[in-house]
Structure 1
Amino acid sequence: MRDAALPHAEIAHAMPGRARLRIADRRGDDAFFASIAKGLSTIAGVRAVEVTPLTGSVLIQHNGPLARIGVAAEEARLFVVGGVAHVAQPAPAVAIDPKMVVALGLCAAALWQFSRERFLPPALTLLWYASRLGGVWSHDGLAEDE
């Protein structure tokens, strides 16, 4: 149950392990933000708290879900957390195909040979090798099946 007497904190930014809250209606209240820092520091999973009373900002570095810390803050009668903003997720790892890297390198070498006006055989041979590695000729009968 949410208590209307508690200040309302909006999530300005959140990512795994770090969140910034804004408590706009208590902006400039040094004593309030000092008590917030002290209260949040006692909650399990909170690693560090930085408050900026001038802007009404609370930066929380934490372990575990932010929602659990929000519930604990409400139970400790510190503030009520508003709707959860989009939590940034780590970018997925991009798989790099080594064949494609070599093919691009061969294309670059071919362009360099073209710039030196060495078309036959260096530039065209490099382009042929690059197209084979890049899969241009892999499924139309011109290359061996792997």
Structure 2
Amino acid sequence: MNDAILPLAQVAHAMPGRARLRVADRRGDAAYFASVSKGLSAIAGVRNVEVAPLTGSVLIQHSGPLARIGVAAQEARLFVVGEAPHAARKTPEFSIDPKAVAALALLAAALWQMSKESVFPPAITLLWYASRLGGVWSPDSDGGNGE
């Protein structure tokens, strides 16, 4: 059996004395995770092992470096510790324009003022500010010549 066949255990979280690994390829395999628990518990420096086959999670409480435990796990033919693929870690880019949020808030306040029949000056002023922030009207839209 070569290392290419061993499942990949990705480090989900690590801090001194505690690490959580994810073995996505074996998620749901209770027999595999029972053998991982037994195998890791036999490694020197491992104080406690908790496995969750349903999520593919392995929680290791240990002393010493995690890398040493990873090497021992590989030698015991349990898994190979590696990094998650960068494509899987990528989160969708989503940004919110603060000016657009402010413009929407001012528009909502203007509509609220109109519902209270306070059109002049509160609602009109709020609509003016919202349109300026939202980019509907800009100070340069009239060309600066007052037309």
TM-score where L is the length of structure 1: 0.53
Structure 2 residue aligned with 1:78: 77
| Alignment match, 1:45 | none
> What is the CA distance between 1:120 and its match in structure 2?
3.0
CA contact (8 A) 1:16 1:88 kept: no
Does the C-alpha gap of structure 1 residues 51 and 39 become closer, same or farther in structure 2, counting only changes over 3 Å?
Answer: farther
Displacement, 1:139? 7.4
Q: Deviations over 1:85-127 (max 9, x none)?
A: 6543567684652x33432221121011111122233212211
TM-score (norm 2): 0.53
2:7 aligned counterpart, secondary structure? strand
- Identity across the alignment (%): 39
Aligned to 1:19: 21
Question: Which residue type is aligned with residue 108 of structure 1?
Answer: A
Distance 1:90 1:69 in 2: 30
Could you tell me which runs of 5 or more consecutive residues in structure 1 were left unpaired when the two chains were aligned.
Answer: 43-47, 63-67
Aligned residues: 130
Q: What is the one-letter code of the residue matched to 2:89?
A: A
Q: Secondary structure at the match of 1:136?
A: coil
SS of the aligned residue for 1:138 comes to coil
Which residue of 1 is the match for residue 58 of structure 2? 59
Q: 1:95, 1:38 → 2: CA distance?
A: 50
Aligned partners of 1:120 and 1:109: how far apart in 2?
13
